């Protein structure tokens, strides 16, 4: 059998995906998932994954941020592995496909290579990146960021990041036994290239009636922490015109974030986290903090939208003139990524072989992915499959078993195609 005729086992892929989701992190009475990074559910899924990878002859390394590298050797002695990865953690109320499909598909590719005794030139690695969601430990794509060394947040900084209950990332890694010894640094534990299968998480493929997205890059993103300050006071005795209510100002800002993104059509902006210091029914709030997530197709457009949003804040402060004020700190950012033509071409040719040119489209990712950080240091690309109704980060997230199978098949063929390009013969 020629390599281009190799087929992954779709039934097995989908069965493993559903069974592991049902076992570890399922939200009762739904297909929703709550598998927070480094939780007990995450640990059990990781343990299962490693056992599976070892059973098909992979070497497994855990790095200092808990990233798992399961490597199937190639014939070459000098080549780094071709990476295939994504993440096993989810949002607090997420679905079964975001991240999980990419890891399960990579495992299915390794199984297919193993069963068919395929000898690749480059080693092939499955990677599970830690804390991609940033839902438990703030900072999305945290550990691929550390590995790339291009993130503003260093390994030591990440270790000190705390969850809402005060547990540090370092302790969480230790607690579940995933504080590994392999350096979390691409220069010491590198890859030849990186491919990531992911659900689109948006409506574009479905709307265009396409089966596969050939991902050419990832839009730029920035997160800001905004703190509104006012003056505490008694909710019964403080006249309305003598108040400096930080929550009222924060509320106006939250509405302005949404309205500015809509009005300018420059991108998307979301407030997903808000905290009020006092949280007492009878006290006028004096300190409220919230986080804004802003994303645009290019870094320049992103700057424009940020400027427009902050201008709307200044206008509110001036108009209301109620003594409240605000501060902004940029907490996180991911520059616009442009994927590598070699990898994009490997994905495109694999997808065309599977479903034909009419069923595929080039697409830019609106969500951040580990591939964005990887692409800053190794050749990278991604494969998207459709999300039903474009819904993600929601228990209703859904991708058909057929599309999951197709995505994994394209991943297999893209890896083989890239490997062929590395081969001396």
What is the footprint of its own copies within residues 255-274 (CB under 8 A)? 255, 258, 261-262, 268-274
Q: Does 166 bind its own copies (CB under 8 A)?
A: no
Coil vs helix vs strand at 1: coil
Burial class (CB in 10 A: 0-12, 13-18, 19+), 321: exposed
Q: Is the dihedral of CA 387, 390, 392, 395 positive or negative?
A: negative
Decide: is 137 part of the binding site for its own copies (CB under 8 A).
no
Give yes or no for residue 168 binding its own copies (CB under 8 A).
Answer: no
The piece of 15-23, 57-65, 281-289, 347-355 that touches its own copies (CB under 8 A) is: 281-289
Answer positive or negative: Cα dihedral of 12, 14, 18, 21: positive
Residues 134, 97: Cα–Cα separation, whole Å: 17
Stretch that binds its own copies, among 44-52, 150-158, 231-239, 409-417 (CB under 8 A): 231-239
- 3-class secondary structure, 154: coil
Member of 14, 201, 324, 380 binding its own copies (CB under 8 A): 201
Among 235, 300, 325, 400, binds its own copies (CB under 8 A): 235
Which of 2, 29, 164, 318 touches its own copies by CB under 8 A?
164
- Name the residue nearer to its own copies (CB basis): 62 or 269: 269
Rounded-to-integer distance, Cα 106 and Cα 383, Å: 12
Q: Counting contacts by CB under 8 A, is residue 234 touching its own copies?
A: yes
Rounded (10°) CA dihedral 79, 82, 88, 91: 120
Least CB distance to its own copies at residue 232 (A): 4
Site string for its own copies, 86-115 (x = CB under 8 A): -----xxx----------------------
CB of 379 to its own copies, least distance (A): 23
Q: Which two tokens stand for residue 288?
A: 């409220």
322 alpha-carbon distance from chain centroid: 40
CB of 250 to its own copies, least distance (A): 8
Would you count residue 167 as binding its own copies (CB under 8 A)? no
Q: Which one among 21, 49, 82, 367 touches its own copies, defined by CB under 8 A?
A: 367
Size of the chain in residues: 425
Confirm if 417 and 349 have CB atoms less than 8 A apart: yes
Least CB distance from residue 234 to its own copies, whole Å?
4
246 contacts 286 by C-beta, under 8 angstroms = yes
Q: Where are the beta strands (DSSP E) in 47-103?
A: 59-62, 68-72, 82-86
Residue 291 lies near its own copies (rule: CB under 8 A) = yes
């Amino acid at each position: 059998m020629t390599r281009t005729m190799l087929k992954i086992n779709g039934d097995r892929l989908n069965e493993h995906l559903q069974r592991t989701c049902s076992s570890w992190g399922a939200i009762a009475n739904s297909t929703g998932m709550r598998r927070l990074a480094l939780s007990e559910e995450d640990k059990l899924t990781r343990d299962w994954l490693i056992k599976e990878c070892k059973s098909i002859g992979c070497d497994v390394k855990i790095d200092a941020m808990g990233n798992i590298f399961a490597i199937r050797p190639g014939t070459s002695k000098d080549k780094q592995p071709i990476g295939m990865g994504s993440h096993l953690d989810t949002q607090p109320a997420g679905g079964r496909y975001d991240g999980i499909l990419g890891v399960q598909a990579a495992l299915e590719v390794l199984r297919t290579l193993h069963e068919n005794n395929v000898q690749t030139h480059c080693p092939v690695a499955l990677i599970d990146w830690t804390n991609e969601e940033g839902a438990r430990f703030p900072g999305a794509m945290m550990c691929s960021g550390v590995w790339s060394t291009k993130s503003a947040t260093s390994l030591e900084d990440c270790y000190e990041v705390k969850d809402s209950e005060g547990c540090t990332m370092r302790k969480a890694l230790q607690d579940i036994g995933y504080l590994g010894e392999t350096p979390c640094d691409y220069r010491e534990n590198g890859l030849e290239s990186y491919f990531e299968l992911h659900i689109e998480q948006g409506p574009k493929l479905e709307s265009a009636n396409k089966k596969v997205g050939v991902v050419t890059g990832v839009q730029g993103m920035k997160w800001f922490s905004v703190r509104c300050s006012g003056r505490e006071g008694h909710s019964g005795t403080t006249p309305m015109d003598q108040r400096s209510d930080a929550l009222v100002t924060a509320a106006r800002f939250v509405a302005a974030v949404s309205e500015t993104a809509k009005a300018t059509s420059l991108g998307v902006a979301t407030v997903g986290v808000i905290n009020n210091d006092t949280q007492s029914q009878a006290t006028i709030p004096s300190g409220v903090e919230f986080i804004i997530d802003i994303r645009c197709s290019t870094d320049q457009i992103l700057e424009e939208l940020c400027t427009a949003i902050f201008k709307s804040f200044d206008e509110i402060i001036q108009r209301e003139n109620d003594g409240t004020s605000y501060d902004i700190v940029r907490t996180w950012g991911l520059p616009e990524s442009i994927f590598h033509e070699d990898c994009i071409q490997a994905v495109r040719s694999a997808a065309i072989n599977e479903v034909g040119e009419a069923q595929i489209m080039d697409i830019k990712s609106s969500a951040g992915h580990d591939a964005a950080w990887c692409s800053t240091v190794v050749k990278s690309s991604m494969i998207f499959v459709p999300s039903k109704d474009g819904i993600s980060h929601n228990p209703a997230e859904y991708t058909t078993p057929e599309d999951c199978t197709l995505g994994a098949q394209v991943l297999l063929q893209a890896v083989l195609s890239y490997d062929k390009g590395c081969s001396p013969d």
